[in-house]
Structures are given as C-alpha cells and as structure tokens.
C-alpha cells in the first residue's frame, strides 16, 4: 500500500510531491534491482516501454508519452541514491530524485520526489503522481517476489 504523499513548495515556489512505498526487502537488494537500467521496463511503465539502449554516457529509452528520450543515472553509490535525468527530444532535461532507504532489517522505503514542471497543470501533476505510485507498487511486487 502506498503511504500518503506530502506536497511541499520548493524554493522556486513550484510544488513537489514525495511518493513513498514500503517494501519487505533489504535496501541494498532494492537498490541493486532499481539501479539496473536493464530492469527499468520491468517496473517503470511511466518511463520505459521497452529495453534501454546504452549510448555513450547515457541511455536511450522509449517512453509511453513522449517517444524516444535520453536518460542518465546517478553513479553507483552506497547511499541508496537512484536519481536520474530524462530528456525527451526537444525538451529540457528533467531531474527525477529517487531514493531507497533502509528503515528496519528486511524493510526499506522507496521515496520518489516528483517536481512539478513549469508546463504542468494540476491534472498533469496529479496524473504523474498516480503513475509514479503505480510504478513504485510494481517495483515493490517485483522485489517482494524475490
């Protein structure tokens, strides 16, 4: 079950929403799966329709809404940082903060911060938040299935 989201205003005044999902899984295992670009299509329906293709320092991804996009990821780390950046063709790169945090032995929390983009109206912001919540639930099911 997805926990309630928190809506805050960032420094620029645009709202952000933190979407969380508890998972019965060690955080390092969750990080290993979620940080693998090849596994993205297994759970991130809002981002990847098909396999990602490596291309230099980034990946090419086919998105459900904007076609082909460039994508890059935070470097591997021991902090659970899964941040990524997506740049659909002709659109400025979008920053997507994402974390996996160990909260107890065998339990972690996925935390995705949705930053409202200048072009987003309330309906688009709500739709993206719901899509991210569904994707985090899919990731939870994948992780808990082992």
- pLDDT tens, residue by residue, 73-96: 999 999 999 999 999 888 889 999
- Record the pTM: 0.85
Strand partners, 84: 73, 96
| Chain mean pLDDT for the chain | 88
pLDDT (0 to 100) of residue 2:
47
Which CATH number is associated with domain 6-144? Answer: 3.30.530.20
99-122 pLDDT, tens per residue? Answer: 999 999 999 999 999 999 888 899
Q: In this structure, what token pair is assigned to residue 104?
A: 């107890």
pLDDT (0 to 100) of residue 66:
67
pLDDT (0 to 100) of residue 13:
59
- Over residues 39-62, the mean pLDDT reads 86
Q: In this structure, what token pair is assigned to residue 66?
A: 């904007």
Beta-carbon contacts of residue 103 (< 8 Å; ≥ 6 apart): 22, 27, 109
d(CA 61, CA 17): 24
Locate the domains of the chain by residue range: 6-144
Are 25 and 107 spatial neighbours (Cβ–Cβ below 8 Å)?
yes
d(CA 63, CA 59): 12
Q: In this structure, what token pair is assigned to residue 19?
A: 């979407």
């Amino acid at each position: 079950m997805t926990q309630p989201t928190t809506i805050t205003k960032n420094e620029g005044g645009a709202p952000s929403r933190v979407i969380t999902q508890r998972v019965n899984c060690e955080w390092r295992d969750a990080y290993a799966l979620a940080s693998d670009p090849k596994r993205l299509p297994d759970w991130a329906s809002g981002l990847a329709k098909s396999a990602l293709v490596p291309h230099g320092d980034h990946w090419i991804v086919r998105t459900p809404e904007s076609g082909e996009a460039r994508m890059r990821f935070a470097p591997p780390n021991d902090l659970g940082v899964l941040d990524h950046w997506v740049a659909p063709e002709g659109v400025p790169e979008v920053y997507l903060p994402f974390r996996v945090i160990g909260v107890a032995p065998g339990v972690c929390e996925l935390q995705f911060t949705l930053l409202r983009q200048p072009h987003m109206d309330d309906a688009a912001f709500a739709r993206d938040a719901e899509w991210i919540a569904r994707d985090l639930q899919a990731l939870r099911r994948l992780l808990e299935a082992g």
